[in-house]
Structure 1
Amino acid sequence: MTLFNGFTILLILSSVVVTEADDDGAWKREMEQKMEEVLRVVQRQEDMILKRDRVIDIQGRNIEKHSEEIGKLKDMILKRDRVIELQSQNIERHNEEIGMLKRSMKEKTLQHIVQHAESKVDNATHKTTNEQPQGGSDSKRLLIPVSQDQDAVAFYAYMSKNFGHVGNGHVYIYDTVVTNAGNAYNHHTGVFTAPRQGLYAFSWTIFVAGEHLDGETGQFGEVTVHLVQNGQYRGSVYADTETNYEEEMSTGFAILSLDAGDVVMVTTPSGAQGSYRSDTLGRWSFSGFRVA
């Protein structure tokens, strides 16, 4: 702004000198008009500078405000991370407590079973002793071992209705439970959980329909069904219908060595289509029992 003021003063002095040398009025007016134009240009530039300064000032305030907001967001993220960490710690602690409760319940259940079996043996022994004649030959009779039904593990379940629309990775749930000794099969998830180590036998049956029973269109029934232990393939069956009203069933059987807590289920990895029957004509079923 100082440069423009100096330039303006020089123009005024030059005008005075020229005026003294030349009294031409028209020329003087022309010079005055030019000087006015220069002054207007200078004024516009000063206004532009003022506007620019105001814009810079506003931008500076916006930057400060954004910096404050960023700082608040960082604080919120840190607080959230601390909350998540505390929740994770609580979950781990609760899982440990649940595990301890499960172990305690299992120990108490086993203890109750043993005590119950011992009580039955004691009662049977007492009854046999009281019934034997003294000095008679019956005094040498051997006691028959008492059967411990609590140790049995066996289940049989089937699906209660026809179905379709089987997608990839489908887990089959057999909702109607006929037998579930040991309560190792879960009819809500379709999963069998081994209560203890041993050899287990499993059987699964599928029934593919040659008609559309559940709103499907296109091809008729075709499916591959796997028996899976802890996510690992252990066996499979396959059925396919090619013509209308053609029905096809297939059954698989496997004997597996399981550890306590191992899970076994029936799944379809991919490629299923059409409808599947499970009615009085034939059932989708899943069964198993502990061999030894």
Structure 2
Amino acid sequence: MAINIISMVLLGVCFQHSLASDIKSPKDEIADIRKLLQDQNERILKLESENLALKSRLTHVEGDNADLREQVVGVAKKHELLQDEVVNLRRQLSEMEELPEQTNPQTSGVLLKDNASPSNTKNRRLLALDTDPPPAPVEPVAFYAYMSKPEPAPSNHHTLIFDVAKTNLGNGYNKYSGTFVAPSAGAYVFTWTINTNPHGAHFINLMVNNAVVGGTLTDTQAADDYDSDSNTAVVALNHGDSVNLRTTGSSDRAYIYVDIHAFTCFSGWRL
């Protein structure tokens, strides 16, 4: 009987020891929770870093996409101009083929009035054949456009779109893309005015075929006031060259301002 009691006591002691080994102390549980929180924080920081990297790549992709859209618009405009030139050349060729031959072989380069024969040219007036056609009148090329609504904090490499085209002689300016495509070669003058709200700044560049040829800085970051900056550039363009205004740097809260009394505008004309 005593042996059974001793055995039972020993079994109870072993059971308690096993149970105590399975139950963790509050200190150990707190340490485990802290370790879990640390692991989760590290994963969150890693995910935030990856998210920032993806946002940066997306910004670059958007800038590249904007440049490609500008190039597509320029190519489409060049294609339209080439088609117009082909139509004009075909029309001129057709008119030349329809001209009657009224040249007297004995007076090479001389046209006889009323198809006169050599026998009655005594009392006829000989008209000289004009081999060079008169120069065609030069069509004016000029545009003036402005923004009808503000641009809230545009990103870098953002093409400014002046959506109201008040003047567009020669149809070189596209109010949907903000790009001017030269309909003919020559010297052109471009001028622009950019208004910025208080505590904002923008670097604005004049671009010719994605090359910087002019620029301005609108800056009110240190002043509680509006800013208006203008610039002018004279550029020699080839037929089909594209010109636009583009942001190249910006600050926080940079806001391009538009007002009925302060136009943000873009204009140009051929000399």
SS in 2 for 1:166: coil
Q: Residue 266 of structure 2 aligns with which residue?
A: 286
8 Å CA contact 2:81–2:183 kept in 1: the answer is no
- Report the AA paired with residue 184 of structure 1: G
The 2-side partners of 1:286 and 1:278 are apart by 13
Length-normalised TM-score, structure 1: 0.48
Q: Residue 172 of structure 1 aligns with which residue?
A: 160
State yes or no: 1:233 paired with 2:212: yes
Cα 1:164–1:182 shift into 2, 3 Å: same
Instruction: Pick the aligned partner of 1:221 from 178, 192, 200.
Output: 200
8 Å CA contact 2:196–2:255 kept in 1: the answer is yes
What pairs up with 1:32-111 in 2 under 5 angstroms?
Answer: 103-109=82-88
Q: Residue 123 of structure 1 aligns with which residue?
A: none
Cα 1:147–1:249 shift into 2, 3 Å: farther
Instruction: Pick the aligned partner of 1:182 from 170, 175, 181.
Output: 170
Q: Report the alpha carbon displacement of residue 284 of structure 1 after superposing the two structures with TM.
A: 1.1
Q: Percent identity among equivalent residues?
A: 32
Q: Residue 128 of structure 1 aligns with which residue?
A: none
Q: Report the alpha carbon displacement of residue 100 of structure 1 after superposing the two structures with TM.
A: 8.0
Q: Residue 247 of structure 1 aligns with which residue?
A: 226
1:148-180 deviations in whole A, cap 9, x for unaligned?
Answer: 47x111000000022212101110000001000
SS in 2 for 1:237: strand
- Report the AA paired with residue 180 of structure 2: F
Q: Report the alpha carbon displacement of residue 277 of structure 1 after superposing the two structures with TM.
A: 1.2
Q: Which has the higher strand share?
A: 2
Task: Report the count of equivalent residues.
Answer: 153
1:163-218 deviations in whole A, cap 9, x for unaligned?
Answer: 212101110000001000000000010000011110000001100111xxxxxxxx
- Report the AA paired with residue 193 of structure 1: V
Computed over aligned residues only, the root mean square deviation of the Cα atoms, in angstroms, reads 2.9
- Report the AA paired with residue 175 of structure 1: D
Cα 1:153–1:249 shift into 2, 3 Å: same
8 Å CA contact 2:153–2:256 kept in 1: the answer is no
The 1-side partners of 2:209 and 2:270 are apart by 17
8 Å CA contact 1:224–1:272 kept in 2: the answer is no
1:240-272 deviations in whole A, cap 9, x for unaligned?
Answer: 11233x011010100000000111100011224
Gapped regions of structure 1 (runs ≥ 5)? 1-97, 114-144, 211-219
Q: Which has the higher helix share?
A: 1
Length-normalised TM-score, structure 2: 0.51
1:112-163 deviations in whole A, cap 9, x for unaligned?
Answer: 79xxxxxxxxxxxxxxxxxxxxxxxxxxxxxxx99947x1110000000222
The 2-side partners of 1:100 and 1:167 are apart by 30
Gapped regions of structure 2 (runs ≥ 5)? 1-76, 93-133
Q: Residue 208 of structure 1 aligns with which residue?
A: 196
The 2-side partners of 1:177 and 1:99 are apart by 20
The 2-side partners of 1:99 and 1:263 are apart by 10
SS in 2 for 1:170: coil
The 1-side partners of 2:157 and 2:178 are apart by 13
Q: Report the alpha carbon displacement of residue 101 of structure 1 after superposing the two structures with TM.
A: 7.6
The 2-side partners of 1:278 and 1:183 are apart by 25
